[in-house]
């Protein structure tokens, strides 16, 4: 049986067709890749201020070009309801130039800051209008942070974005704090490798690789470009919302159901989100990888099953001059998981690590005021006007 040979002419036509199809496929692929990296999804911010990181597929935001004016610190207060330590912040802002700062408060929905709910006019009507109900250890906490950032980003004069809680106190006066934060071109974000606790959920892997998983304090001080990266992120946040959830605590009333509940993955979003997002965006080189807000942690437990870490609360007795001096004298932080010692710098100059501290009770903050840490204030007048 003889095998029929194809004519050279037919083979040449087939090869031409194959080559043409390959060229069309290559051009189509290149166009799609270019569109993916260069297109900018709709958001509430102008697309002209960001480009895309080709390795992480996340946008890299740029500072506004041509800004002229007085740079401000946006003080972002994330509070449960009111501001119980408003009096210490009155002393802090009292001698500050109003052109150097702005104030934003996220409180519970519908709560209004006025003369009936706060003792100081610095907080009047500073609450954002689109606040949400926040649950501890839930993604709503980081969504509230993002809402504060979006509100503050509307003012082009805000160049630093400082997140504080309702139990935070200043350790220095406004002038020192202002020059400390403005003197550095970097953000201050506590960030380290999380190797021990197993909070990383493997279901995140398609978007968030484990090597980019970070942990740290949620209390940050961001430069404007990093604030935009957090506020307008639409890649990492949805993954956190879906896969980073707090395991429910043990509840005796649920009996054997606790066994099933305790098998759920345990993740605390606010201790991982900003750090992981900035690592994903390859921005860690633009950070001082530490916080400027001091917190002391203690392990409290009645038995092994309910053991957990909680921040120490400083009351009148513990907010003594010796303790405050110890906090202010700290000049480095040791990160054991990375075998890293972070010496505290601002613009390459060695400085005290912490500008603020938490958690302070009301009487602890009053004692701090009496020591003249944040400014002059008549504590007796405060006692006389207590509601």
Whether the per-residue pLDDT at 167 is higher than 50: the answer is yes
Average pLDDT of the chain, as a whole number: 83
| pLDDT score at 42 | 36
pLDDT in tens, 264-303: 678 899 999 999 999 999 999 999 999 999 999 886 554 4
pLDDT in tens, 51-94: 445 455 566 666 665 678 899 999 999 999 999 999 999 999 99
Q: Are the C-beta atoms of 69 and 96 separated by less than 8 Å?
A: no
pLDDT in tens, 170-200: 999 999 999 999 999 999 999 999 876 678 9
Grade residue 44 by pLDDT with cuts at 50, 70 and 90: very low
Percent of the chain's residues with pLDDT above 90: 61
3-state class (DSSP) for residue 81 = coil
Q: Spell out the SS3 assignment of 316-382.
A: CCCCCHHHHHHHHCCCEEEEHHHCEEEECEECCEECCCCCEECCECHHHHHHHHHCCCCCCCCHHHH
Grade residue 43 by pLDDT with cuts at 50, 70 and 90: very low
Higher pLDDT pick, 18 / 109: 109
| pLDDT score at 66 | 67
Q: Are the C-beta atoms of 50 and 131 separated by less than 8 Å?
A: no
Q: Spell out the SS3 assignment of 89-103.
A: HHHHHHCCCHHHEEE
| pLDDT score at 184 | 94
Grade residue 382 by pLDDT with cuts at 50, 70 and 90: very low
Whether the per-residue pLDDT at 214 is higher than 80: the answer is yes
Q: Are the C-beta atoms of 71 and 160 separated by less than 8 Å?
A: yes
């Amino acid at each position: 049986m003889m095998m029929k040979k194809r004519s050279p002419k037919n083979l040449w036509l087939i090869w031409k067709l194959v080559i043409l199809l390959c060229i069309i496929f290559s051009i189509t692929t290149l166009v799609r890749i270019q569109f993916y990296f260069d297109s900018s999804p709709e958001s509430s911010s102008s697309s002209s201020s960001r480009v895309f990181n080709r390795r992480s597929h996340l946008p890299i935001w740029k500072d506004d070009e041509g800004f002229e004016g007085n740079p401000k610190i946006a003080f972002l207060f994330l509070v449960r309801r009111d501001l119980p330590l408003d009096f210490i912040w009155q002393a802090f802002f009292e001698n500050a130039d109003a052109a150097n700062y702005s104030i934003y408060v996220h409180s519970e929905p519908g709560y209004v800051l006025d003369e009936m709910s706060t003792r100081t006019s610095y907080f009047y009507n500073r609450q954002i209008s689109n606040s949400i109900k926040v649950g501890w250890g839930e993604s709503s906490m980081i969504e509230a942070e993002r809402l504060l950032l979006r509100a503050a980003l509307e003012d082009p004069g805000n160049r630093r974005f400082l997140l504080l809680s309702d139990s935070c106190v200043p350790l220095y006066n406004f002038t020192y704090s202002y020059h400390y934060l403005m003197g550095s071109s970097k953000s201050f974000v506590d960030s380290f490798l999380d190797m021990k606790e197993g909070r990383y959920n493997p279901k995140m892997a398609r978007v968030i690789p484990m090597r980019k998983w970070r942990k740290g304090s949620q209390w940050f001080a961001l430069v404007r470009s990093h604030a935009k990266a957090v506020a307008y992120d639409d890649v990492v946040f949805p993954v956190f919302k879906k896969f980073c959830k707090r395991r429910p605590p043990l509840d005796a009333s649920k009996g054997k159901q606790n066994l099933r509940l305790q098998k759920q993955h345990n993740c605390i979003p606010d201790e991982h989100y900003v750090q992981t997002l900035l690592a994903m965006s390859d921005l860690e080189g633009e950070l001082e990888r530490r916080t400027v807000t001091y917190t002391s942690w203690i392990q409290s437990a009645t038995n092994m099953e309910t053991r957990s870490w909680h921040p120490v609360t400083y009351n009148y007795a513990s907010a003594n001059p010796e303790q405050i001096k110890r906090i202010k004298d700290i000049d480095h932080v040791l990160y054991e998981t990375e075998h890293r010692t972070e010496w505290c710098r601002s613009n390459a100059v060695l400085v005290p690590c912490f500008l603020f501290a938490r958690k302070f009770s009301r009487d602890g903050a009053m004692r701090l005021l009496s020591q003249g840490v944040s400014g002059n204030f008549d504590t007796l007048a405060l006692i006389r006007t207590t509601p």
